[in-house]
Amino acid sequence: MTASTLQPILDDDDDDADLDRAPPPAPAAEELRLDDPALFLNRELTWLAFNARVLHEAEDLRIPLLERVKFLAIVSNNLDEFFMKRIGGLKQQIGAGVHTPSVDGRTPAEQLKICLTRVRAMHVEQKRVFDQLLVPLAERGIRIVRMAELPDDAQARLRLSFRDNIFPMLTPLAMDPAHPFPFISNLALNLLVTLRYPGGSESYMARVKVPVSRDVSKRLIPLDGTTTFVTLEDLICANLDMLFPGMEIDSAELFRVTRNAVVEPNVEAANDLLELIETELRERHFAPIVRLEVEEGTDAVHRGMLAAELGLNEELDVVEVDGMMQLRDLFEIAGLDFPDLKDPPHRPVDHPLLANDRRNIFHIIRENGPLLLQHPYQPFSTTVERFLRTAAEDPKVLAIKMTLYRTSAGAILDSLIEAARNGKQVAVLVELQARFDEAANIGWARRLEAEGIHVNYGVLGLKTHSKLIFIVRRDYAQLRRYYHIGTGNYHPGTAKLYTDLGMLGCDEGIGQDLTELFNYLTGYSPPPSYRKILAAPYNLKRGLIDRINREIEHQRRDGSGLIQMKMNALEDIDITRALYRATYAGVRVDLIVRDTCRFRPGLPGISENARVISIVGRFLEHGRIIYFRNGGDEEYFIGSADMMGRNLDSRVEVHAPVENPELRQELRLILDVQFADQRSAWDLDSDGIYTQRVPADDKVKGAQETLMAVAEKRLAAAGKHKEKKMRSRLLSHFQWRLRGKD
C-alpha cells in the first residue's frame, strides 16, 4: 500500500489560488520572531485537513465496508458543524467589519474564501468516495435506487405505505403574495415544488419539508423489508399528486439551509443564566443562514430566488450538490445488520483491580491507591458508574459534588437522584452552554432540581468544561475525599466511541484542591491557589509555560529536555510560542494532535526537534496527556483541557498530576504505542501536509487495536495473580487448620 498524502488545501484555477497554498517559508533560525505569521498554521484549515483524514478512512480498503460508510457519514456531519460554528463565526467577524488578521496572517475574509475553496474540493471528494462505495454495497444487496427504477408493483406498495405513514405528516406551504416565504429550519431537507393549474400557463411555488426525524421517518425507506432503499424525498416527489390533487407538477427540487450556531449571549447583562440560554436557543433557531445547498440541475431562476429570499450571496453561499444531499444519513446504512461488513464487536474488559471484586469500591481505591481508567477499553458502567452508584448507596458517604458538561438519561442521573433521596448532600454544576447540548442540559438541570439536588450553573462568563466527581466519605473516625478526574464527558454513549482517560483516587492534596475548586464554582470563594492540580483559567496556562521553560533550562544544562503532549487541538498562541522557544533551544517536543494544530514541526533550525502526529482510527481520540521529563523527576498530567485559547482562558478546566509509578507506566505505554503506530498515524510536515504512515505488513495493528489487546492481557494476568494469591491464602488456611488438629 502506498502512502497517502493530504495537502492542507487543494489547488484550483481560481484567481485567488495564491491564497490557497502552503504557508510561506519560515524565517531563518537566527531571525526567529515569535510574532511572525509564517510560524503558524491556520486553525480552520488544519481542522479541514483532519476531516480529509477522516474521509480517507472511507476509502481505505483495509476497513470493513459499513465502517467506511460510517466514516463518510461522519465527514458530512462534521462539515455541517464546521459551517454552523466556524464559517458562521467568520461571517460574523466580516459583518462586524473585523479586518485584523489571525496569527497566521489572514483576515476573516481571506480565511472564509480559502475555507470555501477547500470545502468545495472536499465535496467533490465526498461524491467520488460515495460512488465508489455504492459498487461493493450493491454487491452485498444494499442499494439506494430511484422510485422510477422500481417495478410498478413495488412502487404501488411504497405508495400505500406513503399514504398511511408519511402523507398525514406533510404540510405544503404555498409561496405567493398571500403566503410569504416560509421559515426554513436549520439542516432540514426541503422540496421546492413548481406547479400549475391544468391547462394554465402561470406557475406557482410551494415548499414541502421532508420530515426526516426519529419520530416520523428515516431518510432511507426500505422496499418490503429488504436492503433496497429509496430516499424519503424521492418517495414524496413520486406522490406529489396526493399533496396537490388536480395540479400539474413541473418540478420538485431539493434544498437545505445551514444556520449560524455562533449566537453569543450577553452574559454580563444576564440576571438568570437558565433564561439566558433558553433565549439563545430560540435565537439560534432563527439565526442567519450561512449556506444554501441545492441539488444539481436546480433551475437557475429558482436558485436565485431562494438565495434572494434567504439573504445570501449566490456566488459564495450557494452550493450545488452532485448526488445525494446530506450524506450524514448514511449512518442508517452503516447501522445495518451485516456483522461481516463491520469491525469485530468490541467488548470492553474490566479494570484488573475492579474485576471480580465486589467489595466497596472506596475500599479498593483506599487499599490499592489510584486507578487509571481507559475507555472504551474498560467499561464506563463498571468504573465511573459503579463509583457513583456506590456513593449513592454507601451510608458512610456524606456528600457528592459533580460537574456535568454532557450526559444522557441513565445511570449517572439516577445515582445522583438516589443519593439525594438517601439524604446525602448532592451538588451538581450543570454547564448550560455546552454547544448543541444546551436544551438537554436544561432538562437535566430541572429534573435534578425537582429531586432536591443543589444545581449550580458555574461562574458567570466561564464555561465549566472540567470532568469531576468529588465525594466526601467518613472512613473510620475521619473524613476522606475521593474523586474521579477525567478527560471525557459523563456520557455512557460517547464512552464507547471515544478514547478517554480517568483517575479514581483519594490523594489528600488533590482532594483539598477539589474542595476549594467546588467552593469557588458554587459560592463566592475567591479563585484558590492549588497544591497539585492545574486549573484554568487560573494556573493551568502559566503552569504549563513554566514547565516548558523548565525543560529549556534542563536542555541547556544537560541536553535532557523532553516534552510530550497528547491532545485534541493545539491552537493557543502562548503555548505554541512556548513550544517554539523550547524546540529552538533544542528540547525534543513530541505532539499527538488529533485535529487543529498551529505548530509547524520540522522547520530548519527552529523546530527540527519536533514531531506532530495525528491518530485516526476506529474510535475518536479524545484523551489528553501531558508529560515533562524534568531532568528525570518526571511529571505526568491528565485532564479536560486542550491547548486552545478558549480552554485555557475562558473555561474552568482541570489537569491533575499522575504520581503513582504504576499509573505512570500505563500512560507511558499509551504514548509510546501511539508514537510508534504504523497503521493509523499521520505525520505532519512543516508545510501543513499530512502523510499517512505505511506499515511493512498489512497485518500490523494500529495503536487502538494494540491497547485493546493490552487491556485484555492485563485483565488475564490480574486474574491469574488473584487466583494464585487466593490459592496461597487457602493453602495457608488449610495448613493452619491441620496444625491446629495436630
Q: Does the structure show a pLDDT above 90 at 407?
A: no
Tell me, yes or no, whether 183 and 286 share the same domain: yes
Across 6-10, 154-158, 320-324, 386-390, least confident range: 6-10
Strand duo 534-536 + 620-621: pairing? unpaired
Confidence of residue 285 (pLDDT cuts 50, 70, 90): low
Assign 29 a pLDDT band (cuts: 50, 70, 90).
low
Which of 555, 532, 553 lies closest to 543 in space, CA to CA?
532
pLDDT of residue 20: 44
Cβ contacts of 163 within 8 Å, gap of 6 or more: 239, 242
Instruction: Give the closest residue to 240 by CA, choosing from 285, 278, 195, 275.
Output: 195
Residues in the chain: 742
Number of domains in the chain: 4
Among 136, 1, 24, smallest CA distance to 72 is for 136
610 neighbors 548 (Cβ within 8 angstroms)? no
What is the pTM for the complete model shown? 0.90
State yes or no: pLDDT of 279 exceeds 80: no
Q: What is the mean pLDDT of residues 85-89?
A: 91
* Beta sheet of 220-222, edge-to-edge order: 143-144, 228-231, 220-222
**Percent helix, strand and coil across the chain, each to the nearest 5:** 40, 20, 35
Are the CB atoms for 616 and 680 separated by under 8 Å? yes
216 and 300 fall within a common domain: yes
DSSP 25-70: PPPPGGG--TT-GGGB--HHHHHHHHHHHHHHHTT-TTS-HHHHHH
The dihedral built from the CA positions of residue 93, 97, 99 and 100, taken in this order, carries a sign that is negative
Please state, in angstroms and rounded to a whole number, the distance separating the CA atoms of residues 308 and 175: 14
- Residue 741 CB neighbours (<10 A): 6
pLDDT in tens, 673-697: 999 999 999 999 999 999 999 998 8
Instruction: Give the per-residue pLDDT at 6.
Output: 66
Residue 703 cell numbers, joined: 495503536
Asked if 596 and 569 count as a contact pair (C-beta separation under 8 A), the reply is yes
pLDDT value for 448: 82
Answer whether residue 723 shows pLDDT above 70. no
- In-domain check, residue 709: no
CB 207 within 8 A of CB 243: no
| Average pLDDT of the segment spanning 384-403 | 97
DSSP state of 461: T
Whether 506 and 512 have beta carbons less than 8 Å apart is answered as no
CATH of the domain at 239: 3.30.1840.10
Task: Read off the amino acid at residue 352.
Answer: P
Q: Tell me whether residue 301 is in a domain.
A: yes
User: Grid coordinates standing for 521?
Assistant: 464554582
Distance, CA of 550 to CA of 77 (rounded, Å): 42
Higher pLDDT, 450 or 159: 159
Single out the residue of 486, 509, 513 nearest to residue 499, CA to CA.
486
What does the pLDDT look like over 546-558, one tens digit per residue? 999 999 999 999 9
Of 643, 90, 622, 666, the residue nearest 405 (C-alpha): 622
pLDDT per position as a tens digit, 34-47: 999 999 999 999 99
Question: How far is it, in rounded angstroms, from Cα 239 to Cα 256?
Answer: 21
CATH code where residue 368 lies: 3.30.870.10
Does 344 score more than 80 pLDDT?
Answer: yes
C-alpha torsion angle, residues 306, 312, 315, 319 (rounded to 10)? -60
pLDDT confidence tier of residue 15, bands split at 50, 70 and 90? very low
Mean pLDDT over all residues of the chain? 89
Residue 346 lies in a domain: no
Distance CA 140, CA 150 (A): 18
pLDDT of residue 3: 63
pLDDT band for position 138 (50/70/90)?
very high
Are residue 329 and residue 385 in the same domain, yes or no? no
Do 165 and 208 belong together in one domain?
A: yes
Q: Is the pLDDT of residue 431 over 70?
A: yes
Do 512 and 578 belong together in one domain? Answer: no
Q: How many other C-beta atoms can be found within 10 angstroms of the C-beta atom of residue 645?
A: 16
At 61, the pLDDT band (50, 70, 90 cuts) reads: very high
Question: Is 12 a residue whose pLDDT tops 60?
Answer: no
Verify that 113 and 258 share a domain, yes or no.
Answer: no
Nearest Cα neighbor of 22 from 686, 630, 470, 628 is 686
Q: Which residues pair with 597 in a beta bridge?
A: 570
Check residues 73 and 452 and name the one with the higher pLDDT: 73
Identify the CATH number of the domain in which residue 41 sits.
1.20.58.310
Full 3-state SS string of 641-695: CCECHHHHHCEEEEEEECCCHHHHHHHHHHHHHHHCCCCCEEEECCCCCEEECCC
Q: What are phi and psi of 420, to 5 degrees?
A: -65, -40
In sequence order, which ranges of 29-188 are alpha helices (DSSP H)? 43-57, 65-82, 88-95, 108-139, 152-165
Residue 742 lies in a domain: no
Asked whether residue 713 is domain-assigned, the answer is no
Query: Could you tell me the pLDDT band of residue 286, with boundaries at 50, 70 and 90?
Result: low
In a domain, 291, yes or no: yes
Count how many Cα atoms sit within 13 Å of the Cα of residue 178 in the half-sphere of its side chain. Answer: 2
* Range(s) of the domain holding residue 23: 5-137
Same-domain pairing of 195 and 70? no
Cell representation of residue 197? 393549474
Distance CA 682, CA 593 (A): 10
**Are 19 and 131 in the same domain?**
yes
Q: Do 484 and 563 fall within a single domain?
A: no
How far is C-alpha 704 from the geometric centre of its chain's CA atoms? 17
Q: 309-332: per-residue pLDDT in tens? A: 999 999 999 999 999 999 999 999
| Residue 315 near residue 203 (C-beta atoms within 8 A) | no
Task: Decide which of 484, 508, 532 is a domain's last residue.
Answer: 532
Same domain, 194 and 53: no
Q: Is 102 helix (H, G, I), strand (E, B) or coil?
A: coil
488 and 564 fall within a common domain: no
Q: Which of 345, 344, 362 is nearest to 353 (CA)?
A: 362
Catalytic residues: 465
Share of the chain above pLDDT 90, in %: 75
Could you tell me if residue 326 is inside a domain?
Answer: yes
Question: For 97-106, 268-277, 448-457, which range has the lowest pLDDT when averaged over its residues?
Answer: 268-277
Cβ atoms of 270 and 461 closer than 8 Å = no
| Model confidence pLDDT, tens digit, residues 598-615 | 999 999 999 999 999 999
In this structure, the answer to whether residues 273 and 384 fall within a common structural domain is no
Terminal C-alpha separation, the chain = 73
pLDDT at 239: 97
For residue 373 the three cell numbers come to 481508567
* Last residue in a domain, options 115, 137, 159: 137
Residue 723 lies in a domain: no
- Name the phi and psi angles at 495, rounded to 5: -65, -15
Contact in structure between 360 and 394 (CB atoms under 8 Å)? yes
Q: Which of 532, 555, 581 is the last residue of a domain?
A: 532
pLDDT for res 333 = 98
